[in-house]
Amino acid sequence: MSSIKVLPHGIGSGRRAVRYLLQALDSRGQPRRMIKVLKGDPAMTARLIDSQHTVQRYTSLVVAWHPEDRPTEAQMRTCLDELIELMCGGLDADRLDVLAVMHDGHFHVVMPRVDLLTGKSYNPAPPGWERAYGALRDAWNYEHNWARPDDPARARPLQPGRVPPIERDPRILMTRAVEDALLAGEITDRAGVVRVLKAHGEITRQGRDSVSVTLPTIVGPVRLKGPIFARELDADAVRAAVARHRAADAPQPSGCGVDAATARGRAHMARQALAEAVKRRQAYTATRYRQRPAPETIPAWSVEDPDHFAARQRAMVEARLATRKPVAAPPAPAMASSLAAQPAPVDRIAQMKVRLAELRTASLHAEARASSASMTESLLGHPRDALVELRRALGNAKCEREGLERQIEARNWLARVAARLADPEAAQVAEVSRQAQQIEREIVEKEATVSAADRAHSETLQAQQEARKASAAVKAAEAELKAAEAAQSDAQRRQDALLQHPTHTGVRVFRPSPI
């Protein structure tokens, strides 16, 4: 199965990202059997990423295959070339820096988000990237008979996600209950699925392919997603899939799941969809990233010589890095020098954007801590009502014991009996005393539980307060950034107007207010 996924990374350090691709252990701490650089220079890519002043500095993709596919290195290199061509979107290959590293059965691609020729920010996976990259993935799978991630025969009744931190996953229990009812013929549509799930909790939301259930033991709704929870439920197909997955000797589907003629037709359709997506992307890049004459320090383009191509791209990277370094400004006319004397707020705005991204990350972490503390408090429960009942029972037992003791003392005094009490009365007093001691032990245990619940509640309040402070800091940073960008835009607009329409009596200089 070949799959293409754009990872949610791109605002951190370039050296850290490149170091992760080249280190001996993966994210789970397992040793990597293969680490091979297919394209690019890791050191140059890291330097180029760290030199960017934008928030989104690079784009990271991963292309993976199913273990049964076993693609050759030549096939992986061919897929890499087609993927890079799609990422470039019509720009010359030397205008974008690409680093590709192959691991066990997959390879990573990291691209700094900058056009080396114009210096503009370039996003190789803009919103809606799934359409073009999905068409390329489908073309690969159908052409090479690789396993498809969207093959219905490989669909699982429950799609994995975040598992609640409890001993038994309630999603698996509820899914098995729905599967049992489906196999028994009790479910034919979405209404039957909802009827089974209502026995476990309250239904809070019903989506196109998911159902959310609120359980009494978990804070927040639990989302169940998969074919078995779809609004348009195909009961027969899902029943067959469930039976196949539960069978111990069920044959696993192989290849792309269709015959050769169908695969060729679908591959042709995928290539057509890919060509249309590339054409739209090229039309945009042709106007956004217009060709500019390269500096004299960059060698001329040469397609025949790969070494010459690498030298040209390295020269473009060095030229782009040099533009990020502070250089002395050349002498200029009076008006231009006066305008250039004012501090440009671009660097400050970039720093504010980076700071805003850090505050948003801190806010997400604070909200996660608050949610975890709230879940811990919920799992501990609130035993205060039980403690009140135990105290009331203890008081009743003590009163009963004291009443019996007073009755015995009065009888002893009246009867002038000092030796022993009557056996039935003594046994009754001992039983009441034993019950009172048992209740006292239960009260001690409940008090310890209440103390733990109080601590959890205090930690929850503190975590929620930190989350609110982090959210307020994010809002304040967003407002400050918006004001700074508006002030910069206004200053630039007035500056452009001044340069286009100077006064006839003399040079008019506009000094923007400091931000």
The domain spans of the chain are 1-151+258-327, 153-246, 346-500
- Residue 109 has a pLDDT of 93
- DSSP letters for 246-276: H-TTPPPP-TTSS-HHHHHHHHHHHHHHHHH
How does strand 99-102 pair with strand 36-39?
Answer: antiparallel
Fold (topology level) of 1-151+258-327: BirA Bifunctional Protein; domain 2 (3.30.930)
pLDDT the model gives residue 361:
80
The pLDDT of residue 292? 57
Which has the closest alpha carbon to 106: 180, 1, 20, 190?
1
Q: Which two tokens stand for residue 225?
A: 């997603």
State the pLDDT at residue 112: 92
Predicted pLDDT at 515: 42
Nearest to 55 by CA among 485, 493, 514: 485
* pLDDT of amino acid 168: 56
Instruction: State what percent of residues in the chain have pLDDT above 90.
Output: 4
pLDDT at 68: 81
Torsion of CA 118, 124, 128, 130, to 10 degrees: 160
- Among the listed residues 47, 130, 136, the one whose alpha carbon sits nearest the alpha carbon of residue 85: 136
Residue-wise DSSP of 5-69: EE-S--SS-HHHHHHHHHSSB-TTSPBPS--EEEES-HHHHHHHHHT--SS--EEEEEEE--TTT
Task: Note the pTM of the prediction, 2 decimals.
Answer: 0.46
Degrees (nearest 5) of the Cα angle 98, 103, 106?
80
Name residues of the chain where pLDDT drops below 50.
Answer: 1, 162-167, 248-251, 301-304, 325-344, 417-418, 421-422, 502-515
User: Any idea which fold 346-500 has?
Assistant: Helix Hairpins (1.10.287)
